[in-house]
Structure 1
């Protein structure tokens, strides 16, 4: 073993090899996920954590789409089932079901909420000119939740607004 030959392979301080790294992009990055075999995405910078499905502690008198809360390192995080919130099929909790924990900060407040989805897919890089406005004709997802649409291969990914997702509607007991 020639130690001098090995030393030549060690990078000098300030010298870095970026060979094979293709994730650097000038566009926005989104975490894509599935709901009833449809692709959706959220801004990856708002993703706090991706957790496997675990049954949360139920909250009495909460809307049906609020599954409950979990304790995440001392923070109480509400868990929302997006299938129930958007009325997309019947929720099924399988080994691919995950909770995407999103944090959003505005001038007035900061909020962390977990969203139950069928599965996480990929990271999508999208340039601003690739994002199209969503048509305002009805649809499964209410228009104010949609930031835009991106063509990916033969399909379309719906970009969801993290700010709008963080709003929990008033619920009347009845």
Structure 2
């Protein structure tokens, strides 16, 4: 049997999301973020990660969830994603990070196709962890908009 895929589970509002562990470089405590003028609402600004400028997106706003203040549990997940110009390092601000885990099943359910106006384009699939639904994010697609903003390093 092949090794099960591992995911980092993230909390945003009351929802549970997961990112493939292969995309995660590191998880940082919240830190000051340098704002960028006229940036879209979900682009919080830039942070320095070992000498590299990394753009930070608010996962809440990127997913269309209302912004919320930082708490002691807020984390920045530094990810390596595939942008149109190649590899891109980006930070994702999440309300909390739970654990690195495997899901209850290797098979993900496809996102529901409810309406033509909503497509689960940023959802890789729906899994379960201990009986709870977990939305597995398609990070490359979710963050492609950021790459188009000219932030590719």
TM-score range (shorter-chain normalised) is 0.7 to 0.9
SS of the equivalent of 1:124 reads strand
Alignment partners' CA distance in 2, 1:133 and 1:159 = 10
Pairs aligned (count): 144
| Cα distance, 1:106 vs structure 2 | 6.7
| Cα distance, 1:74 vs structure 2 | 1.4
Alignment partners' CA distance in 1, 2:110 and 2:6 = 17
Q: CA RMSD in A?
A: 2.1
1:64-98 residue CA offsets vs partner (Å, 9 max, x unmatched): 11000011111110000011112213322011000
- Given that 1:84 and 1:91 are in contact with CA atoms closer than 8 Å, whether structure 2 keeps it comes out as no
146-155 or 72-81: which moved more? 146-155
- Given that 2:113 and 2:119 are in contact with CA atoms closer than 8 Å, whether structure 1 keeps it comes out as no
| Cα distance, 1:142 vs structure 2 | 5.2
Name the structure 1 match of 2:49.
72
Q: Which structure 2 residues correspond to residues 10-29 of structure 1 after superposition, within 5 A? A: 26-29=3-6
Name the structure 2 match of 1:35.
12
Alignment partners' CA distance in 2, 1:108 and 1:33 = 27
Which of 128, 143, 164 in structure 1 is aligned with 2:106? 128
Alignment partners' CA distance in 2, 1:142 and 1:69 = 29
Give the structure with higher Rg (CA).
Answer: 1
Unaligned runs of 5+ in 1: 1-24
| Cα distance, 1:26 vs structure 2 | 1.3
Judging changes above 3 Å, is the alpha-carbon distance between structure 1 residues 106 and 94 closer, same or farther for their aligned structure 2 residues? closer
Alignment partners' CA distance in 2, 1:146 and 1:107 = 18
With the length of structure 2 as denominator, give the TM-score of the two structures: 0.85
- Given that 2:10 and 2:94 are in contact with CA atoms closer than 8 Å, whether structure 1 keeps it comes out as yes
With the length of structure 1 as denominator, give the TM-score of the two structures: 0.75
Alignment partners' CA distance in 2, 1:133 and 1:29 = 18
Judging changes above 3 Å, is the alpha-carbon distance between structure 1 residues 162 and 153 closer, same or farther for their aligned structure 2 residues? same
Alignment partners' CA distance in 2, 1:142 and 1:164 = 12
Judging changes above 3 Å, is the alpha-carbon distance between structure 1 residues 106 and 92 closer, same or farther for their aligned structure 2 residues? closer
| Cα distance, 1:50 vs structure 2 | 0.3
Do residues 52 (structure 1) and 29 (structure 2) align?
Answer: yes
| Cα distance, 1:128 vs structure 2 | 3.2
